[in-house]
């Protein structure tokens, strides 16, 4: 059981990659206050936790009943992620007027960012969902199954801590650094999106 849990934790942690998502969190929440960022981090990790736990418990049966394959999830997630990357790379200059900036960060915007793309597909993306379903299917016993659900919560808690610590970094790089980082991360997101789609297509063709 210990070997199973260790393997499941490493697989899920590497797939979610909380440390790698920290710069993305900074880029996506640029211009927000510390309180707003905290709200986004809490909401995103909460949504992602619910999604991964749900798929660990019911994902395999649900996909089978709906006739949806995991490669199809990869392709869909890649297309959605590419849309976000496009906006990050080609977005217009942030308004300099403070009132305009304050209006730009609305509650709806905070909720949207937390749900997409942070919770889906960055935290609970096709890879993490696949890892959750596969690891749950390999559980050797009911206690191990329950422990794996605990591991999902642990990985999301680590992600939350990483996101909350990302704020001080943003204050150091400033507005110019934020713009440069946002554009560069948009390119990385685009590449990641293409990789998701490529992996999905490759799996479908192989199947």
- What confidence tens digit (pLDDT) does each residue in 125-183 have? 888 898 898 889 888 999 999 999 999 999 999 999 999 988 776 667 676 776 787 78
In percent, the amount of the chain with pLDDT more than 70 equals: 89
pLDDT level of residue 91 (50, 70, 90 thresholds): low
pLDDT for residue 52: 97
Q: How far is CA 197 from the centre of its chain?
A: 16
The residue among 149 and 74 whose pLDDT is bigger is 149
pLDDT level of residue 94 (50, 70, 90 thresholds): very low
Domain carrying residue 200: 2-206
- Mean pLDDT of the 54-83 span: 83
- What confidence tens digit (pLDDT) does each residue in 25-45 have? 988 887 788 889 999 999 999
In total, how many domains does the chain have? 1
Q: How far is CA 30 from the centre of its chain?
A: 17
Q: Rounded to an integer, what distance in angstroms lies between the CA atom of residue 145 and that of residue 149?
A: 7
pLDDT for residue 98: 39
pLDDT for residue 102: 44
Q: Using the predicted structure, report yes or no on whether residue 100 has a pLDDT greater than 60.
A: no
Q: Using the predicted structure, report yes or no on whether residue 61 has a pLDDT greater than 70.
A: yes
């Amino acid at each position: 059981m210990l070997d199973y849990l260790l393997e499941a934790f490493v697989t899920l942690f590497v797939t979610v990659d909380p440390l790698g998502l920290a710069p993305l969190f900074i880029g996506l929440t640029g211009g927000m206050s510390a309180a707003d960022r905290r709200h986004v981090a809490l909401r995103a990790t909460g949504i992602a936790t619910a999604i991964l736990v749900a798929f660990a418990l019911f994902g395999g049966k649900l996909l089978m009943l709906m006739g949806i394959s995991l490669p199809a999830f990869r392709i869909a997630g890649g297309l959605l992620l590419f849309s976000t990357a496009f906006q990050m790379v080609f977005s217009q200059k942030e308004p300099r007027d403070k009132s305009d900036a304050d209006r730009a960060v609305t509650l709806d915007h905070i909720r949207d960012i937390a749900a997409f793309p942070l919770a889906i597909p960055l935290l609970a993306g096709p890879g993490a969902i696949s890892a959750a379903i596969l690891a749950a299917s390999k559980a050797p016993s009911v206690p191990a199954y329950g422990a794996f659900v605990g591991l999902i919560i642990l990985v999301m808690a680590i992600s939350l801590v990483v996101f909350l610590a990302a704020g001080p970094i943003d204050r150091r790089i400033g507005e110019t650094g934020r713009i440069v980082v946002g554009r560069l991360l948009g390119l990385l997101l685009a590449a990641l999106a293409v990789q998701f789609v490529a992996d999905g297509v490759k799996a479908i063709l192989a199947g």
